[in-house]
Amino acid sequence: MRRFKADLHMHTVLSPCGSLEMSPVVIVDKALERGIDIIGITDHNSTRQCAEVYKVGQQKGVTVFCGAEVTTKEEVHCLTFFENFEKLDAFQAYLDKHLPEIPNDPERFGHQVWVDADEEILGQEERLLISAIDQSIDEVESKVRELDGLFIPAHIFRPSFSVYSQLGFMPFDIKPDAIGISSRYNVEEQLNKHTELKQFTVLRSSDAHFPEQIGIHYTVVEMEEPSFEEFRKALHNVEGRRVIELR
């Protein structure tokens, strides 16, 4: 069994709040520099930058998990990941259907473009990606399950855009694959306070918006290889695969 460093929450140039420097090459190079083995691409309500980062990652030896950070109707941020592009595209179609028609104002919120390995612009999202989609957290979870993806509520104790801020506590019928707790919280303290969460694997990530932030926080995972299926096993403590440390 080997150990891998995973930073599974970051924004690219596509997120309005993501720096324009966050291109596929810059992200992958920074991950390599910081010794991060697996990165998760999680732009707000869009998966459209994933494929290009994945390609660069393949060339340079960084595993890239493709997904999005979805803003549910309740304004809860949830990370989602999918194991192949067929499923990722199906989820993109779901996002396209449920994102409201509110135009982005690039001057105010930032640009929403996705780019290739040469930093050439491939497309622009016209709708504001930081809006909430019109689906509840339960509906988003169901869609992710239907596509056999991973569903991970992000920074669950943050005072905004989190399960605890918006919904008071983790809905009892939601069964996330893991939960994200940001570095400013003491995980042990929080789990003792919210014992209902002890059944879930905790992840820590950088939530990077700028290259310098990539890998400042990460999760150490023990598994056979850096694949989606192995990672799923680790989140569920199957066959000795497990999360061993939050940094």
In this structure, the number of other CB atoms found within 10 A of the CB of residue 229 comes to: 12
Question: Residue 75: left if φ>0, alpha if ψ -120 to 50, beta else—which one?
Answer: left
CB of 138 to other proteins, least distance (A): 7
Among residues 12 and 72, whose Cβ is nearest to other proteins? 72
E strand or H helix at 145: helix 137-146
Contact between 231 and other proteins per CB under 8 A: no
Residues 180, 157: contact at Cβ < 8 Å?
A: no
Contact between 131 and other proteins per CB under 8 A: no
* Binding window for other proteins (CB under 8 A); candidates: 28-36, 114-122, 167-175, 201-209: 167-175
CB of 164 to other proteins, least distance (A): 6
Among residues 13 and 170, whose Cβ is nearest to other proteins? 170
Give the gyration radius of the chain's Cα atoms. 17
Contact between 137 and other proteins per CB under 8 A: yes
Contact between 35 and other proteins per CB under 8 A: no
Contact between 151 and other proteins per CB under 8 A: no
The per-residue b/e assignment along 120-135, b for 16 or more CB within 10 angstroms, e otherwise, is: eeeeebebbbbbbbeb
E strand or H helix at 106: helix 106-109
CB of 191 to other proteins, least distance (A): 18
**Residue numbers at the binding site for other proteins (CB under 8 A):** 74, 136-138, 159, 164-169, 171, 173
